[in-house]
A and B are shown apart, each in its own frame.
Chain A
Amino acid sequence: MSASSIDTNSMDQLFAVADTIVAKAKPGEQIEVVVARGRETEVKVYQGEIEAFTSATSQGYGVRIVADRRQGFAYAGSLDADSFDEVVAEARDNATFGTVDEHLGLAEPDGLPIVDLGLFSDSVAAFPDDRKIELAKELEELAVAGDPRIIGSESSEYNDSIGESVIATNTGIRVSSRDSGAYLYVGLLAEDDGETQTGFGLSLGREPADLDLQEAATQAVERTTRLLGATKPASQRTTVVLDPYVSSQFLGIIGGTLSGGAVMTGRSLFAERMNEQVAASGLTLIDDPTDIRSLSASESDGEGLATRRNVLIDNGKLNTFVNNTYTGRRLGTTSTGSAVRGISSTPSVGCTALQLLPGARKQAELLADIDDGILIQGVSGLHSGVNAVSGDFSTGAKGLRIRNGELAEPVREFTIASTLQRMLLDVVEVGGDIEWLPWGAAGVSLVVSDVSVSGT
């Protein structure tokens, strides 16, 4: 059974739901409706057999009402017309308990046109199930055969999705968006001398044709086998090189500290530091959802405004925070098109397509300048090890020793620690190897000096 293709009337159906509900606003009320529908296929293969094949559709809508400068919200996980009145009534009732706030209010068109970025490919829906299964099987086979020390896979997966949504308000917003994506993932187990290590590889794109089996397999084999025989390093302060996969996770956290939501509630490390030097001079951090290389690119934000390129840190200087309509008004500015949301909550604010402006050199060239250091291949415990309010971070890590400019023995069971503030200033060089990953931040090799390594 294949996900039937989304027909051209599909958006009309979603608009019909949104328009019907918007029409239920009472005089004096602002109403916003977000309606979303998605399809997803996931194939998991293990030892050459289909372990699980999931075919999923999901849909739902959320209603936000602002009345008398108070806000309420309600949602439903279906598009059942019988639920519309109840959900609107519930959102309206919820609004009566909110705090009166002059800054509350829905987005209004700000003049920036929404540009079609071509984020949707018909080929996802047309791709046959048998091919999806074959891809996952081929990937497993290729990866497991990649090295004699690979004892098997944990899982080899093909996943694709199609999402469509509309946002409509009675303040002039009426936008739709549609996107597609696909990825291949393989997790491997390698064993040597009674020790087991795991690693993974992935390849992703907007459509199945973008996927590269060989790339995912090679990456997984390398990441899994190169850690075999790892030992615990001695404690020291040293230079680390964050692999793109690792730097992207840190960028995501740093992006969170630059949101207007954190700034207006006094939770941002950088609240009072606009135009100051907060990072090394070569570092430029951008949130650009209009860059179609990012899998999380989008044409419009969670309130229906056009997305745009926001330069957060410009050559080390703090340049802007990202805002949605509410946080923008609170901070005396305007939305940067950075509202983020699902159907089950009001829009928050955040970065969705972060990237560091890449440098010129490949990872191997960066390593060549380092006499003694560690390449960090993976970190663990970021959710408990980073406090985005204080800036303290300390995470588990594994990777490879760097000696005399080259990768040497593997190391594991240690932590790296610093503060986000210091780390930004301690960036020595940004690599040129930008890697797009299936979340809101791209990665790049990043050389950071003076990080505390805690081991033996």
Chain B
Amino acid sequence: MIEESVINATLSTALRTGADFAEVFVEDKKRSSAHLDDSRIEELTSGRSRGAGIRVIVGESTGFAHTSDLSEAGLQQAAEAAAAAARGSNGDTRTVSVTRQDVTPAYEITTFPETIAKSRKVEMLTMANDVARSVNNAISQVSVTYSDSRRQILVANSEGLLAGDDQVRTVFGVGCVATGDTGMQTGRMTVGRPIGFELFDEYDISDLAQQAANMAVTKLRARPAPSGEIPVVIGNGGGGVLFHEACGHGLEADLVAKSASVFKDRVGQLVASPLVTLIDDGTMPREWGFFTIDDEGKPAQSNTLIKDGVLVDYMYDGIRARKEGRPSSGNGRRQSYKHLPMVRMTNTYISNGETDPDDIVADTPSGIYIKKLGGGQVDTASGDFVFGMAEAYLIEDGKVTEPIREGNLIGNGPAVLEAIDALGNDFDMGSPGTCGKEGQGVPVGDGTPTLRVPTGLTVGGTAA
């Protein structure tokens, strides 16, 4: 994207106020999307944004500037601005020479989405709409979205690193509204992978459309959710959101360092049921949180955070790692060139257990079974977290019975982790997610086998 000599010169300028560290992050992102709603192809959108973010670190302070002007002059100006913002004072001249250190991707993209005719993408939207509407007369509205993106990044820093990555993502989602005597209900299915159009070799979009429609129709007969502390069985796949909120964020080293985590000073201690082994793994091929290098140029890693219930380590980005004199764990990510990197999760999952998932339900006299989770949110300092149930059922006499209406569950991270008393042998990854932190969204994956939380989760329903 940019010549090495220009990068070297930009870094030298960024270092001119005596910085400890300087970095250039260049991004070129193309996106295309097509949206159908109300049986109309509303529009196709295409766009491109590219630019560079320049970061300069002096002592504890970071200066940051970004520009959409990738000319040598534009980069110099941004480097000057970042250096001035970092407020260093020593004016030693230092030269930088970067060396290309690319990492071979774990797999190849077989069909870049830009090679597929727009008409084919439009046909898929129409087809999914037709299928969803044919499922049941109660389906009153359908929206379908296709989108793909290609994000090429280049990271160079004053330590001589120069590395790039080419990140392709494709997503397809169907949302349905069903209308009945009890009002309207919604169902949604989304699939996505960091791959190209080969996504559709793996997923049948008419199946997706049917599932989304069935979810909405099923929920029409949903009862009000119960309220209070109730045993909860969480189905495999998307249940990983539970761990993302219950402990994932609390294991981010930047929050730990500011005492904003209930998991501070707990490395080596039992923080969860011994059944729980929690891993954050940016190397999982084709999973939504996958990348070859993170947004600081560090190759993705698999990091075991909790092993058999014992806290092993936190997740680190470069700045936090430097402060603590240890290597980054490959968790430095940013939304775009306009943002500073920070500690972020990648693919966060609980490793497989040994119990037959059917036995877990059968062994639960009463409670709720959550098939599909919604998003969540956590206050890392207190550990209190919530997550939504997008599709859930009552468990009565050890059987999954009636659907219940949507709502949130609330719990406290450490208490819920400790309470887990059954782990299935049916591990799966869930739907693609976007994790938000300080206003920045990044793609993340979650996974878990079926599990049970017998105490500690409060269901926020309206039924007594």
Residues of A within 8 A of B (CB): 1, 46, 49-60, 62, 71-78, 83, 90, 93-95, 97-99, 101, 129, 151-152, 154, 189, 191, 195-198, 232, 235, 264-267, 269, 344-346, 380-381, 383-385, 387, 389-396, 398, 412-418, 452, 454-456
Contacts and interface: CB of A to CB of B under 8 A. Distances in A.
Interface string B75-94: 00000111011110000000
B386 A454 contact: no
A235 B227 CA distance: 7
B43 A53 contact: no
Contacts of B374: 383-385
Among A71, A152, A452, chain B packs the most CB atoms within 10 A around the CB of A452
Contacts, number: 271
B185 A396 contact: no
Contacts of A93: 118
Interface stretch (B5-13, B62-70, B269-277): B62-70
A266 B15 CA distance: 57
Interface string B381-401: 110111110100000000000
A266 B140 CA distance: 7
Given A99-B40, A267-B184, A392-B406, A385 B460 contact: yes
A413 B458 contact: yes
Contacts of B260: 154, 189, 196, 198
Nearest to B388: A384
15 contacts: A52-B340, A56-B338, A75-B48, A77-B68, A83-B48, A93-B118, A98-B44, A99-B42, A198-B379, A381-B388, A384-B386, A387-B406, A415-B410, A454-B410, A455-B228
The dominant DSSP class at the A interface is strand
Given A390-B406, A455-B458, 13 more contacts: A55-B82, A56-B65, A75-B45, A196-B260, A384-B390, A384-B408, A385-B386, A389-B185, A390-B183, A413-B412, A452-B227, A454-B228, A456-B228
Given A198-B382, A381-B375, A454 B118 contact: no
A152 B381 CA distance: 12
Contacts of A413: 384, 410-412, 458
Contacts of B37: 265
Nearest to B51: A77
A189 B68 contact: no
Contacts of B39: 99
B326 interface: no
B18 to A, nearest CB: 15
Interface string B87-126: 1000000000000000000000000000000110010000
Interface in B35-75: 37-51, 59-69
Contacts of A57: 66-68
Contacts of A456: 228-229, 458
A415 B385 CA distance: 11
Given A151-B259, A267-B184, A385-B408, A394 B338 contact: no
Nearest to A75: B47
B177 interface: yes
B339 to A, nearest CB: 9
B408 A415 contact: yes
A53 B262 contact: no
Nearest to B436: A383
B179 interface: yes
A431 B68 CA distance: 46
Among A98, A197, A346, chain B packs the most CB atoms within 10 A around the CB of A98
A414 B410 contact: yes
Interface in B174-223: 177, 179, 183-186, 219
Contacts of A389: 177, 184-186
Interface in B348-398: 374-379, 381-382, 384-388, 390
A396 B460 contact: yes
The 5 closest A-B pairs by CB, nearest first: A77-B49, A415-B460, A384-B388, A394-B407, A384-B374
Nearest to B41: A99
Interface residues of B, number: 84
A376 B412 CA distance: 19
B418 to A, nearest CB: 15
Nearest to B60: A49
Given A50-B61, A385-B386, A77 B376 contact: no
Nearest to A450: B462
A384 B375 contact: yes
B97 to A, nearest CB: 27
A97 B119 contact: yes
A99 B80 CA distance: 49
Given A46-B258, A58-B68, A1 B49 contact: no
B386 A381 contact: yes
Contact of A76 (B42, B49, B377): B49
Contact of A1 (B62, B80, B375, B376): B80
B69 A54 contact: no
Contacts of B40: 98-99, 101
A53 B179 CA distance: 51
Nearest to A265: B38
A364 B412 CA distance: 31
Contacts of B219: 390
Nearest to A76: B48
Contact of B462 (A197, A344, A452): A452
Contacts of B183: 269, 390-391
A346 B410 CA distance: 37
B244 interface: no
A154 B407 CA distance: 30
A78 B375 contact: no
B459 interface: yes
B242 to A, nearest CB: 12
Contacts of B376: 381, 384
A94 B45 contact: yes
A1 B85 contact: yes
Contacts of B378: 380
A381 B63 contact: no
A53 B86 contact: yes
Contacts of A53: 61-64, 85-87
Contacts of A62: 47
A77 B47 contact: yes
Given A73-B44, A415-B408, A1 B81 contact: yes
Nearest to B122: A97
B40 to A, nearest CB: 4
Nearest to B186: A389
B454 interface: no
Contacts of B62: 50-53
